[in-house]
Structure 1
């Protein structure tokens, strides 16, 4: 039996939110990361200090842009990245 792969086409490509620099107000950025991810404050601070770090994974573009704005307002540098299309084996 041959394996079959299907690619679903959708309008919105999933995006990742990447924290590239926490800035000088690390605690404020960690609080924003906590609010966005639901992690504890301790884990959010760890994630904030280990840059570059993917904060959110596979979310719609509008939500990703809102998260980037919230992080930038707290004093961090963040960006959105489109997730690459998966490579399916050729048959």
Structure 2
């Protein structure tokens, strides 16, 4: 039998979701490129197909920094905590 538990001190992974790129799509694509390491073309595609998960399973501090960078260029983005794994 396997037991799963979540320690209180564990940081729950977060996702960064781009909700709306705004009017400065190329600027948003450049921020997405800087955050993900994708090519500029792939970053632009990701920025235009919203809602899009830009970062997956990152610590809260990294997610908040990414949100701030996206909002600085006029995008709407949000941090979503990943759901806890189901317990058997």
TM-score by length of 1: 0.90
RMSD (Å), alpha carbons? 1.1
Task: State the Cα distance separating 1:4 from its structure 2 match.
Answer: 1.4
Question: How far has the Cα of 1:7 moved from its partner?
Answer: 2.9
**Match of 1:60?**
59
How many pairs align?
87
Q: 1:41 aligns to what?
A: 40
Deviations 1:23-56 (A, max 9, x none): 0000000000000000000000000000000000
Q: Deviations over 1:57-79 (max 9, x none)?
A: 00000110000000000110000
Q: What SS does structure 1 have at the residue aligned with 2:57? A: strand
Moved over 3 A (4+): none
2:4 corresponds to 1:6: yes
Cα distance in 2 between the residues matched to 1:87 and 1:20: 27
Could you tell me the TM-score, scaled by structure 2's length? 0.92
Counterpart Cα distance in 2 of 1:47 and 1:15: 18
Note the residue ranges of structure 1 that are not aligned, 5 or more in a row: none
Aligned-partner Cα distance in 2 for 1:44–1:31 = 7
